[in-house]
Amino acid sequence: MKTPVNRRSFMKIAGSTLGIGVLYTALPVPLAGESGEMMRWLGKKNGEEMTPFSFVQLSDAHVGFNGPPDPLGTKAFERAVEMVNALPAAPDLVLFTGDLTHDTEDKDMHAKRMKQFQEISARMKVGKVMYVPGEHDAGLDGGQLYREFFKESHYSFDHRGVHFIALDNVSRAKPEVGPEQLAWLKKDLARFPKTAPIVVFTHRPLFDLKPEWEWFTSDGDDVMNVLAPYENVTVLYGHIHRDHEHDEGHAQHYAARSLIFAFPDPDKVADKKPNPFDKEQPFRNLGIRVVNESAARALSVQDVELTLREYSGINGVQQILREPGL
């Protein structure tokens, strides 16, 4: 009897929040039988053998946002770029999970914000930067302006044996992927064995996290049903402006913190109101999760919260280790 690949044996994930987003390390483990055949097949299909690599998830920069609860504008985003560039090894990819800009009905102003986002993100010294839209990027015009700047809003690509899928669950002016994209997803996945490692990145959560706060995708169950037969699925999303982890079947879902302001834990408050700005800790609850191989070959996630004390006259950072979700 052949043993399926356990995703924790395929992709090692350890994380820490550094005030910017999420850095993952994908580590293929040599396995015998069907799993080894799968990795060799993917290596041949992609034109390269599977080797370890890292990638960063950033989310919710809201370029163009002004005023309370966060007067910082693009400072956290720019700090994120600096920290990505300061990593010991440059990541292969950056995946940005939506709300690159803050929406406006003034098309010229929105285009200016998208150009500003591109200028800041272009400073990152990484192999590629890939995007999906958030509702602030694509909700008002069905993604027309977004596509002018960033091309397709859903697509897929292979990188070192991992299949990446960008899903658009915002351009239909409601939290929905839609039947056309679902059909595309089924076709896209058809060529892969069920043991293939898959990373999906999108804006809204694909499960009902907090529907009354619009933290859901109406046909998210349909998406997850398409992915259900696959044994190694990681879903990355934004939108909720806080860290969160969720297990569902063979899939694990991870939210990245935002780069503009944070929302509170919905289980602890009644109203959807952003956390107030703290000038002593202006980057509090904004974050990056840095994910590396675990020596024990097991899932290990830690958050490191970064605080830049620029408003109190101290140049430096304070790193506070804590458990995710707290």
Q: Does a structural domain hold residue 1?
A: no
Band of pLDDT at residue 49, cut at 50, 70 and 90: low
Q: What is the mean pLDDT of the chain?
A: 79
pLDDT at 102 over 60: yes
Q: Is residue 213 part of a domain?
A: yes
Tens of pLDDT, residues 5-16? 444 434 444 344
What CATH number corresponds to the domain at position 90? 3.60.21.10
Structure tokens at 30: 């040599």
89 lies in some domain: yes
Number of domains in the chain: 1
Alpha-carbon distances, residue 320 vs 3, 55, 252, 278 (angstroms): 40, 23, 25, 16
CB of 24 within 8 A of CB of 7? no
285 inside domain: yes
170 pLDDT exceeds 70? yes
Does the pTM surpass 0.75? The reply is yes
Judge whether 129 and 90 are in contact, CB under 8 Å: no
The 10s digit of each residue's pLDDT in 103-152 is: 999 999 999 999 999 999 999 999 899 999 999 999 999 999 999 999 99
User: Phi and psi at residue 149, in whole multiples of 5°?
Assistant: -95, -35
Neighbours of 288 (CB within 10 A): 30
**Listed ranges 24-28, 80-84, 186-190; the one with the highest mean pLDDT:** 186-190
pLDDT at 169 exceeding the cut of 90: yes
Out of 35-49, 176-190, 240-254, pick the least confident: 35-49
Owning domain of residue 184: 7-322
Render pLDDT for 288-318 as a digit per residue (tens, 0 to 9): 554 443 333 322 333 333 333 222 222 222 2
